[in-house]
Structure 1
Amino acid sequence: MQAKETLFADLVQGRAQQFQVPLYQRTYSWTEKQLTQLWTDILEQAELLESGEKASTHFLGSVVLAPSPQNEATFPRWLVVDGQQRLTTLSLALAAIRDHIADAEPDEAERIDEEYLINKRRNGDDHFRLLPTQADRAQFAAYVRGPLSAQSAGGSVAAAYGFFRRKLVEAADPAAPQDVFRIEQAITARLTLVAVTAERGDNVHRIFESLNNTGLKLSQADLLRNYLFMRLPTRGEHVYETYWLPLQGSLSNDELEQLMWLQLVLDGDDRVRRQDLYAAQQQRFERGEVSEADIEAYIKELYRRSHLFRRLLHPEEEPDEAVRARLHRLDTWQAQVTYPALMLLLDRRERGELDSADTARAMSYVESFLVRRMMCRVPTNNLNRIFQAVPGQLPLDVPVAEGLHQLLSAENRFWPDDDELREKVRTAPFYKFGRGHQRKMVLQRLEESYEHPEPVDFAAAQLTVEHVMPQSPGDEWIRMLSKDVVDGESAEDLHSRLQHTLGNLTLTAVNSELSNHPFGRKQGLLEGSHLEMNRRIAATQRWGAQEILTRSDELADRAIALWPAPLRGVGRAERSRDWNLAHQVLAALPHGTWTSYGDLAAFIGSGAQAVGTHLANTPGVANAYRVLTSEGKVSASFRWTHQDAGGDVRDRLTADGVRFTASGAADPTQRLSADGLASLVGGGDDDRTDSQEKTAQCAPKSQEGETRADPFYLQLVAENAPGRRFFRQLAEDDSPETVVAVRALFARWEELGGGVYHPDSNKFTGASLTLDEAGIPDRVISPMGLTVGCGLGGTAYVSLQSLAVQEPFTDRVLRAEFLRRLNELEGVDLQEKWPGPDPSFPLSVLEKDRNRELLVETLTWFRDRWEGRDTD
């Protein structure tokens, strides 16, 4: 067995060869967490390349190879015993770079392909340098060779490829662009691997077991502790009992490791990563003669700072009220990224360089920096670097608080000023920014700013974020909004644009009671609230566009007063980052999806017309042609830019898996709404319970990433394998009574002349009730679909967006009547949301005979409307 250090380029470049992942290996399983860490390492190495620093490469891990039984002298084949996750990830990253530059640099894209991804003169499976296990092979091949197919959508391989496409667009931000070829070089020539090559006859499984044993690895803190006490032959016992034992008792091992890292950062090492803590500290000790007294002094200082660090972890231990309040808020925000700056402030206060009032003021700058950036949707990818650099970059010629204010206001820190904050409060979808607890904290601080004489106990109150104008508006809301529309904007577009803005959000403990009711009913509930902001909402006569914008302006004034602004003239973020966010989400559009100008505008807080103008005048935007009108049509003003590939737009969309209805519109079930777009770039989570979250994940996806197979394209089957799978899974999650009820429903539907279609797919287990005309694909309609799985019970859903493009249900009155009839079933309350998820109800309601009869009557009414439509 041979082992040597190598680079990815050295491993895979050269003559034609192949690395095969054996069948017994697990499938590709890296998640965004591992991908994000790798991307951070890659960018760090790319920056080192650009600066010319002679720093060490980054060690990525080991790769264990063994000769394949299929090995040939002219075509070496290797079994990947260990390291397939790393090799697959790096290959997908290079494929993403290739596709990112394909239009602008076709020769370079071809070079990347031939050097790292393919064996140019080989066919079949031999064409690929890396051959994943069979479960991943087809999808990996789709991204390496293309073209993409419907089978390539979804799964970990697709997610990893999409992650890198999105990050490459983010790295090309005009405000701080990064060279894509530096990134390529960092991947291929700065990430080191230890390649362990086994000979024939070596027990490769034993090697694998030794590398992946079940024992717990030593942490960085464990390694450093052992190193320190080996250097204390005479003072070790005293130091251990006096400092280390209390230190170890007050912090967990993970917290202790974090403190050790912070100590390095506070001492000026602004580039060290936590996973390199042991090597970095060891290197510092070995630069010169280090005595036992030096080691003891280090541990003593660690012990002193542990008391300060505990105040970040447990703000209640901070004695000063003002500082304690700010630490509590930062802890609620989960702002661990700011620890270097907070530790510096507490450390300087303990040294007497600033008092508690100045410490609290400096912390208010940190809080404002985070809050304003979140409210203006500034990406968080550089926060670690910003705060880690604070101890080393803090100006020395001004007081600490003023120095921090100046540092955070500097160029490329992107701390939004008052004008930008005011604009974003009016226009941006705040509900989709940040995380649920962060949005809640912003609203809580705004409520506190009213200084009500009887303030709410927020710690005890069970408050959630509520949309005053609901996310699923009824007819009364739509009629009211229709009076506010301008410039040809529809009421639905106006709702989509304003629903998630800060002016339409509040806090309440009666979210379920407020629900989707008209404003008149909500007024009474809000009027009785203890929150001042709710009483002010209740005092208005109506709740339309102007009222929401007026409240937005009021809240913007309060936000500006609460969270200090950056210093003027030091620098502010460029507006281009909003468009960069749009570019990122377009690059991440999954196969078989499209979006509209209005959806993209609502996602970034802009206008549909501005989005259209930007895309028309900006060359090189990935997937720009997949932005259509709200009706699913190519805009009459769409033009390819001179740098784009061109061609027939509909042909390109079809190749990307977008389907078209008989009217020539893109399939509305494949449309991604603003909410769906937010999910592609890790947009803010919401305040749903675990049960609600599982329901959302298991529900049929009409607009959020994974396209549901619909009746136009379902394979006609009776009780075949997919049908058996449907009832088997239904029986696993639902009662026998529900299973019997669903079977009875299917039988009654077939008596009415309908059909039951099951998608032949491992990704989707469900059924659709359908009606067709002589089997013609574009003359098929589905009143209802059913899904099972996820342990939460079966669900029935109505694809209103699909119905809305099929006669006679293009008539909104008929769709509303259909929902009204369904809502007569006990336990059913369906609302139309446009755009939005399909309304649904649990299949368990069909256990009641009366509900089942009402449903059959409703389906009969549906069939009669379909058969009586005008087909001319």
Structure 2
Amino acid sequence: MDVQETRLQQVLEGQKQYRVPLYQRPYSWSIKQLDRLWADLTDLAAQRVEASQATHFTGSLVLSLGQIGPGGSEFLVVDGQQRLTTLSVLVAALRDHYLETELENPAKVARLEESYLIDRFKTGDARLKLLPTQADRPAFRAIIDRNVASATASGLTEAYRFFRAKLRQADDPDDPHDIDRLESAALNGLVFVSITAKNEDNVYRIFESLNNTGLKLTQGDLLRNYLFMRLNQRGEEIYDSWWLPMQRALSPADLEALFWIDLVWRDPAVKQGDIYTMQVERMRHLAEDQIVDEVKRFSHLAQLMELIRNPSREPDPAVRRGLQRNATWGLSATDALVLHLLRVRADGGSTNEETAQALHLVESFIIRRLIVGASPSPLSRILYRAPEEIGDTDVATSLHRYFSTGRKFFATDAQIADAVISKPFYYQGRPNQRKTLLAWLEEATPVAWRQRELMAKEQVDVERTTIEHIMPQTLSHAWRDALAGDLGPSETVDELHEELLHTLANLTLSGYNSELSNRSYAEKRDLLASSGLRMNGEIASRPSWTRRDILDRGAVLATRVASTWAAPIAETDISDSGVSWKLVVDLVDAIPTGRWASYGDIAAVAGTHPVPLGQFLASAPIPNAYRVLQAAGTVSPGFDWGDNAHAGRDVVEVLEEEGIEFDDAMRASQDQRMLVSELGEMIGLSVRSDTEPSDEEEEADRAAFINEFATRHTPSAVHGIVELLNAWEGLGGHLSYGSGQEVSCFLQAGRGPNRPKNIWPLVIYPYGSVEVVFQHLSTRPPFDEPELREELRMRLNEISGIDLGGDSIGKRPSFDTDILADRLARDQLVEVLTWFMSELGRFDAEFTEAT
């Protein structure tokens, strides 16, 4: 290779053309990258006023020398095409700015155009100094030919308009040389390391080695690049005819999902991170004609994938309805199965009717599992294995049999009838799925109950409604009096309240949430009666809302579910699918000194009912069980110390010593009660109600955390924190934020096939501390192994400024956030986190292989 430092002027001038090969992704720079480049450029222009030789390193430019002839040299751009394309657009914007503002100086325009944009002695695409990849050529030609107004919208035209706007803003009428300085900084101050490969070098090997980390290109990008490197001279034809339509129809994420699904059909355990490696291994020995067939096959599948993402394109009404409801539900784990069903139909293996039946079975299976609170952990695995199990014929019958056999927890009608009055539906599944189920139940409600729709405030729009508790979460005196007349023997109002509060039978959809609140049933009834929702009219037809009414409505809903969604072929047993008593133990153990939780809230997080929960706590030796009280803050009459160290003492007295405040009626302070979201947060579960934050609210949480941090720390420390958070998300982790007075940030890694509990290595506090949660990790595989926690400690201690003691792997030690202001220390910490994620991946892979 020939390696040298070069400037943009040297790159573009002379008889050279830079061709972006087909295996490169289209132009993808956004405003974020453009802003950064412009800031660098303006800073450099200012520096060069005092130091005319100042430069700014722009990155590497990896080229492969192609044809050399009398007309000049051709180079393939192996790496750096985004920068080179952007800077060419900048030169075009400079040219057009001069054309607009310096009519008296046409030489400037001609110099930029003929030296850096085109070769005036050539025609067609051969005249262009830079020839982008196929998808970008029309927009680039329009920019070079000064015809942007007629160009279709693209990232390139957006970049051109960005630079034109910036140049107008930067052009000071009182400074005749400001734009000249920017031009000089761009052409002579931006420095590349230019690496030119010799002819015999394997260009794609260079490209692969530069981008195979997945940090620069997606797995889908890399696979596309591999395919077109294999196609040689046929690349242009195949790209135009087959690949480009597919790339236009699907987003990059959907294309990547398509390539992954193609592997899942062969091996349901394959990971998305293995797309490139596994597909290349599969196609490594194929001939060129077979590679062409693979591209065509992917293109046909992309047309079917587009139906999943845009069901309105499906011509058959029944299939279209199934696809629309699947899209509304929003569970990506169904994609592989649904695409398989569409593929079988396209190949002639099933009819529209059979496909619609199969889609209805997928919906029924998922809905019934949600209602009974079946664990979501195995659902993806069940759905991924379905295509392999059901085959390519008689798909509806085969799928029904597959869902109905084994331990898949396809709930029966009897189990549905029990779940709607006993399971805490308000905390099951995702908020949008709970609302969607209620909306679909609304559709199934008899038309006879429809109220005056044209006069109603609300329509059935899941996005604009919230889930309303009919019996409210906070009981007023009127509600207590109403419920008191329907109690069982020795039962209290609070026990009845906890028993039925979050059940499906006590929930509805409403746009009146703030108006309804905890009003009396008589007041709520009037509002519900005027609702445009049929189910609310049905509720309002009842004169009261007591236990009897809730149970009656539960029976109605159970019948509606049974008639709307298909049941399994035979009775199945899901009795062990709901409650993890180990989870209950973790929850109770997590209640800290000075706090208490209710039986109902513990039950809601664990997915059970307060009654069996109370029975379990009475029989299991859990040290913190005395911190679980009735909803009103009173000690359960049946509480038994068992073998607890406090046995024989008064529970209230013990809790008061721990800081719990009680009133004269022996009720613990509600201010010290741990709510459902806090309990989940303590053990790493994301348990949220219908009020779960939207993406915008999560962004607000992030901003609140960073802003709070910024008020106490230096800009470099703030920059360090932001870079760390971005790096964690780049590793596949996600961020969650605490709800206390100070917004803490949890670096969460999620769950795995044998890791039902969330896991996180660090918590960052805005006052300036990064907590290493060894104590938390000690209960979560694979870091429940002391050796791994010790290795984590040792790796962290290699970072300058971190010194965690040898006895800390069972504790929660911390280090100062100021350490992250140092780039080297931050990079070292990211390396440790990369290792942490790789250990999780290794553990998950071993478990998958073992099962």
TM-score, normalised to structure 1, is 0.51
SS in 1 for 2:468: strand
Q: C-alpha separation between the residues in 2 aligned to 1:612 and 1:412?
A: 27
Pair 275,534 (structure 1): closer, same or farther in 2 beyond 3 Å: same
Provide the residue aligned with 1:485 in structure 2: 487
What corresponds to 1:452 in structure 2? 447
Q: 1:380 aligns with which of 364, 376, 382?
A: 376
2:408 to 409, 413, 420: 413
Deviation at 1:307, TM superposition (A): 0.7
For the 8 Å contact 2:661–2:668, the answer to whether it is kept is: yes
CA contact (8 A) 1:597 1:612 kept: yes
* Counterpart amino acid of residue 246 in structure 1: P
For residues 323-353 of structure 1, the C-alpha deviation after alignment (integer angstroms, 9 at most, x for no partner) is 1112111211111111111011001111111
1:176-575 to 2 correspondences below 5 Å: 217-266=216-265, 268-286=266-284, 289-394=285-390, 399-452=394-447, 458-459=460-461, 462-568=464-570, 572-574=574-576
SS in 2 for 1:233: helix
Contact persistence 1:429–1:604 (CA under 8 A): no
Deviations 1:485-544 (A, max 9, x none): 223332233223222222222222333333332222222222222322222222211111
CA distance in 2, matches of 1:476, 1:378: 36
In structure 1, distance between residues paired with 2:742 and 2:254: 45
What is the CA–CA distance in structure 1 between the aligned matches of 2:699 and 2:649, rounded to whole Å? 36
Taking structure 1 as reference, are residues 523 and 576 closer, same or farther at Cα in structure 2, changes over 3 Å only? Answer: closer
Distance 1:654 1:692, change over 3 A: farther
Deviation per CA, 1:742-787, whole angstroms, max 9, x where unpaired? Answer: xxxxxxxxxxxxxxxxxxxx97479xxxxxxxxxxxxxxxxxxxxx
Question: 2: CA distance between counterparts of 1:384 and 1:415?
Answer: 14
Counterpart check, 1:627 vs 2:628? yes
**1:602-630: per-residue Cα shift (whole Å, max 9, x none)?**
555655453232234346x6854543455
Query: Could you give the per-residue CA deviations for residues 648-686 of structure 1, whole angstroms, max 9, x where no partner exists?
Result: 999999899953448898765333245654565322431
Q: Distance in 1 between matches of 2:604 and 2:630?
A: 14
Percent identical: 35
Q: Confirm or deny: 8 A CA contact 2:468 2:508 kept in the other structure.
A: yes
The residue identity in structure 2 corresponding to 1:627 is V
Aligned-partner SS, 2:509 = strand
Larger radius of gyration: 2
- Residue 726 of structure 2: aligned partner: none
Cα 1:689/1:672, change in 2 over 3 Å: closer
Deviations 1:125-182 (A, max 9, x none): xxxxxxxxxxxxxxxxxxxxxxxxxxxxxxxxxxxxxxxxxxxxxxxxxxxxxxxxxx
Alignment coverage as a number of residue pairs: 492
- d(CA) in 2 for partners of 1:522, 1:595: 29
Distance 1:624 1:284, change over 3 A: farther
Taking structure 2 as the reference length, what is the TM-score of the superposition? Answer: 0.52
> Is 1:686 matched with 2:690?
yes
State how 1:620-699 maps to structure 2 within 5 Å.
623-624=624-625, 626-628=627-629, 631=633, 633=635, 637-640=639-642, 658-661=658-661, 668-674=670-676, 676-677=678-679, 681-687=685-691
Change (3 A) 1:428 1:674: farther
8 A contact 2:211–2:217 mirrored in 1: no
User: What amino acid maps onto 2:659 in structure 1?
Assistant: R
**Partner amino acid for 1:560?**
A
Query: How many Å apart are 1:640 and its aligned residue?
Result: 4.5
Letter in 2 for 1:423: D
Q: Which amino acid aligns with 2:281?
A: Q
> Amino acid of the residue matched to residue 247 of structure 1?
M
Deviation (angstroms), 1:361:
1.0
Whole-Å separation in 2 of the counterparts to 1:418 and 1:215 = 47
Amino acid at match of 2:364: S
Amino acid in structure 2 at the alignment position of 1:382: P
Mind listing any 5+ residue stretches in structure 2 that lack a counterpart? Answer: 1-208, 454-458, 703-710, 713-738, 744-765, 767-851
CA contact (8 A) 1:409 1:566 kept: yes
SS at match of 1:466: strand
| Cα 1:647/1:488, change in 2 over 3 Å | closer
Question: Any conservation in 2 of the 1:658–1:667 contact (CA below 8 Å)?
Answer: no
Q: Which amino acid aligns with 2:267?
A: D
TM-aligned CA deviation for residue 253 of structure 1: 1.4
Which residue identity lines up with residue 445 of structure 1 in the other structure?
Answer: W
- Letter aligned with residue 269 of structure 1: D
d(CA) in 2 for partners of 1:315 and 1:537?
34
Cα distance between partner residues in 1 of 2:657 and 2:295: 61
- Cα RMSD (Å): 4.2
Taking a change above 3 Å as real, the CA distance of residues 503 and 451 of structure 1, as seen in their structure-2 partners, is same
- Normalized per residue, which structure has more helix? 2
| TM-fit CA distance, 1:423 | 0.7
Give structure 1 stretches of 5+ with no counterpart.
1-209, 699-724, 727-761, 767-788, 790-872
Deviation (angstroms), 1:367: 0.8
Q: 1:565 to 1:519 in 2, by over 3 A?
A: same
Task: Report the Cα distance in structure 2 between the residues aligned to 1:274 and 1:214, rounded to whole angstroms.
Answer: 14
Measured in 2, the distance between the counterparts of 1:609 and 1:261 equals 45
Deviation at 1:384, TM superposition (A): 2.1
For 2:316, give the aligned amino acid: D
| 1:282 CA drift (Å) | 1.3
**Structure 1: distance between partners of 2:226 and 2:696:** 49
CA distance in 2, matches of 1:390, 1:211: 37
Q: CA separation in 2, counterparts of 1:691 and 1:320?
A: 34
Secondary structure of the structure 1 residue equivalent to 2:421: helix
Amino acid at match of 2:423: A
